[in-house]
């Protein structure tokens, strides 16, 4: 895909009401990037929700994919975090966006990784792999997260150390934030792990949870459906495996219409 075609697509998007302008692009690794766009004035969303974003194809039709909003609901702009798939229909082109380009954004936020889908609890676990950290980037900067829970634990598992960089930067930005930094300093714990390279914590989150290592590392002795709540975001396999483990611990899956102890959503890929 050439840049010329990319820009043609962007120009077409500019003529439509759903077009938003790119304000920042950061490439974290060869395979991961984040970007910020202008926010439609009327867009309201709950932390953890996703929207459809994309570009126009050469035939003029929109090519859209679900992307979790990675910025907090009080932010003036919207942030997204994406994988780059070299032959992926959208991300093969989206990875080339530049400041000033335009993308399509349908302002209809939806999703299950929302506080409304959970019953009240004391501790919340945000369990992410890869770009599945995106909805939690919004949730860990939502004051409600700290009003509702005594402890907030964000686990992020990636293959390599470098792929954890977005999460480390996110934690720094969160702890330094004038609005929620102080609340987060008291309650937020970051537990990054790698599976294909050594780092401080090595292993799949499923294994670390099942073996008890995660709980002992965090000095938690009372994990229970009575007060632990969880949100999961990763690949289909990760989601299914974690769902099973959480259910074995007595937690039930919730939804907007029937809140319970945990919720799951597939991270965008492709």
CA nearest to 266, candidates 124, 63, 64, 113: 113
Q: Decide if residue 113 touches ligand A2P (CB under 6 A).
A: no
Residue found under tokens 């690949």: 235
Q: Which is nearer to ligand A2P, 121 or 130 (CB)?
A: 130
Neighbours of 114 (CB within 10 A): 24
Q: Give the residue, chosen from 9, 133, 209, 238, that forms a contact with ligand A2P under the rule CB under 6 A.
A: 238
User: CB of 269: closest distance to ligand A2P in angstroms?
Assistant: 7
Size of the site for ligand A2P (CB under 6 A): 15
Interface with ligand A2P includes 204 (CB under 6 A)? yes
264 counts as binding ligand A2P under rule CB under 6 A = no
Piece of 2-10, 21-29, 30-38, 204-212 that binds ligand A2P (CB under 6 A): 204-212
Query: Which of 72-80, 87-95, 115-123, 230-238 is the region at the interface with ligand A2P (rule: CB under 6 A)?
Result: 230-238
Taking phi over 0 as left and psi of -120 to 50 as alpha, with beta for the rest, 57 belongs to: beta
Looking only at residues 138 through 157 of this chain, which bind ligand A2P when binding is defined by CB under 6 A? 157
Q: Which is nearer to ligand A2P, 234 or 254 (CB)?
A: 234
Q: Please state the closest distance from residue 106 (CB atom) to ligand A2P, in A.
A: 26
Q: Is the dihedral of CA 236, 92, 138, 110 positive or negative?
A: negative
| Smallest separation (angstroms) from ligand A2P to the CB of 264 | 12
**R_g of the chain, CA atoms, integer Å:** 18
The conformation of residue 9, written as its DSSP 8-state character, comes to H
Question: What number of CA atoms fall less than 13 Å from residue 22's CA on the CB side?
Answer: 24
Instruction: Give the per-residue contact string, 179-198, with ligand A2P (x = CB under 6 A; - = no).
Output: ----------------xx--
Residue from 49, 142, 228, 241 in contact with ligand A2P (CB under 6 A): 241
User: Quick check: 193 and 168 in contact, CB under 8 A?
Assistant: no
Whichever of 78 and 113 has its CB closer to ligand A2P, that residue is 113
**Residue 22 backbone phi and psi in degrees, to 5:** -75, 130
- Assign 232 to helix, strand or coil: strand
CA dihedral of 21, 27, 31, 33, whole degrees rounded to 10: -40
Which residues are near ligand A2P by CB under 6 A?
A: 129-130, 157-159, 195-196, 204-206, 234-235, 237-238, 241
């Amino acid at each position: 895909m050439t840049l010329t075609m990319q820009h043609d697509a962007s120009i077409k998007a500019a003529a439509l009401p759903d077009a938003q302008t790119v304000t920042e692009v950061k490439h974290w690794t060869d395979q991961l990037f984040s970007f910020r766009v202008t926010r439609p004035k009327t867009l309201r969303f709950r932390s953890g929700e996703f929207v459809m974003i994309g570009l126009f194809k050469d035939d003029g039709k929109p090519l859209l994919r679900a992307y979790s909003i990675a910025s907090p609901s009080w932010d003036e702009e919207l942030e997204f975090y994406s994988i780059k798939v070299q032959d992926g229909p959208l991300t093969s082109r989206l990875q080339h966006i530049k400041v000033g380009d335009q993308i399509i954004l349908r302002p209809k936020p939806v999703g299950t990784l929302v506080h409304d889908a959970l019953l009240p609890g004391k501790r919340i676990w945000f369990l992410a792999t890869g770009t599945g950290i995106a909805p939690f980037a919004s949730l860990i900067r939502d004051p409600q997260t700290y009003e509702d829970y005594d402890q907030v634990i964000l686990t992020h598992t990636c293959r390599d150390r470098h792929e954890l960089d977005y999460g480390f930067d996110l934690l720094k930005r969160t702890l330094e934030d004038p609005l929620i930094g102080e609340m987060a300093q008291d309650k937020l714990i970051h537990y990054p792990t790698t599976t294909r390279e050594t780092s401080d914590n090595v292993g799949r989150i499923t294994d670390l949870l099942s073996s008890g290592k995660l709980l002992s590392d965090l000095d938690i002795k009372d994990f229970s459906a009575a007060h632990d709540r969880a949100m999961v975001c990763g690949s289909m396999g990760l989601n299914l495996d974690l769902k099973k483990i959480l259910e074995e611990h007595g937690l039930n899956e919730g939804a907007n219409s029937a809140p319970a102890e945990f919720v799951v959503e597939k991270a965008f890929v492709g």
